[in-house]
Amino acid sequence: MTAAKVFDVPGLGGVTVWGENAPRAFLCVHGAGGSRRDAEGFALRAAQTGWQAVACDLPEGLLPWDCVPYLRHLAARMRSRWPVLGLRATSIGAWLSLVALCDEPLALALFQSPLLDMVGMIERMLRQADVSREELAEQGEIRTDSGVLSWRYLVYAENNSGLSWDVPTSVIMGERDELVPHKSVEDFCRRFSADLTVVSGGAHWLHAPRELAAVAAWEADVLRGER
């Protein structure tokens, strides 16, 4: 595999591309606190099965009204170079990708610890903070111990719920994911016939050595078409 190449894409900032020239490529989308560097391990495995990988740094703040247009623009630029596109996304990156690319003809998607129900997530935060919808609507933003609640964000999520997803998809998550309810992922997998792998004892970020090994094995299986 050739060394990673870093490119500046007009209007999109820098992206990193891994792999030998190929007719297909994955768009790799990180989660909160992540970066395009997180994609390297997956990119190495993808290259072994004839895929290139393109990783980006999402706009600061991970706000959907910034990230969704960014991802749509990047996917369109990628489509002009690679006729076949796949998606590899983590945590909130999965939700942003779903909103951005729900109408994009993708060959394959891999989601790790995906946040798939943003409305449900915000509603849980409201309950935990003992804040009503009416209070949030009136104040616009409310700071809580678990983060900033935003009325604009909730409305955006509600307006982009119920999306269609016609992409062969495999999902992996930890048995003890502390951020994403299993039910939301299981409901998504049933609705869209996605494959689900659960890592025994795993937490949300799946960063422990045993968890990383499980993710690598899952990625390899999906890329070989064994899931």
CATH number where 68 lies: 3.40.50.1820
What is the separation of C-alpha 168 from the centre of its chain, rounded to a whole number of angstroms?
15
Residue 1 located in a structural domain: no
Report CA 219 to chain centroid distance, whole Å: 14
Q: Are 16 and 4 in contact (CB under 8 A)?
A: yes
- Is the pTM of the predicted complex or chain greater than 0.85? yes
Indicate if 38 and 112 belong to the same structural domain: yes
Q: Is the pLDDT of residue 11 over 80?
A: no
36 and 85 in a common domain? yes
Mean pLDDT for 131-138 is 96
In the numeric block, the tokens 């869209």 are attached to 192
Q: pLDDT tier at 14 (50, 70, 90 boundaries)?
A: confident
Q: How many domains does the chain have?
A: 2
Residues 143 and 109 in one domain: no
Same domain? For 183 and 215 the reply is: yes
Cβ(109)–Cβ(42) below 8 Å: no
Provide the residue range defining the domain that includes 21. Answer: 6-116+168-224
pLDDT at 148 over 60: yes
Statement: residue 135 has pLDDT above 80: yes
Residues 148 and 172 grouped into a single domain: no
Asked whether the beta carbons of 30 and 93 are under 8 A apart, the reply is yes
Residue 46: per-residue pLDDT = 96
* Residue 151 vs residues 121, 128, 145: alpha-carbon distances, Å: 13, 16, 17
Radius of gyration of the chain (CA): 17
Q: Are residues 16 and 101 in the same domain?
A: yes
Distance CA 34, CA 220 (A): 22
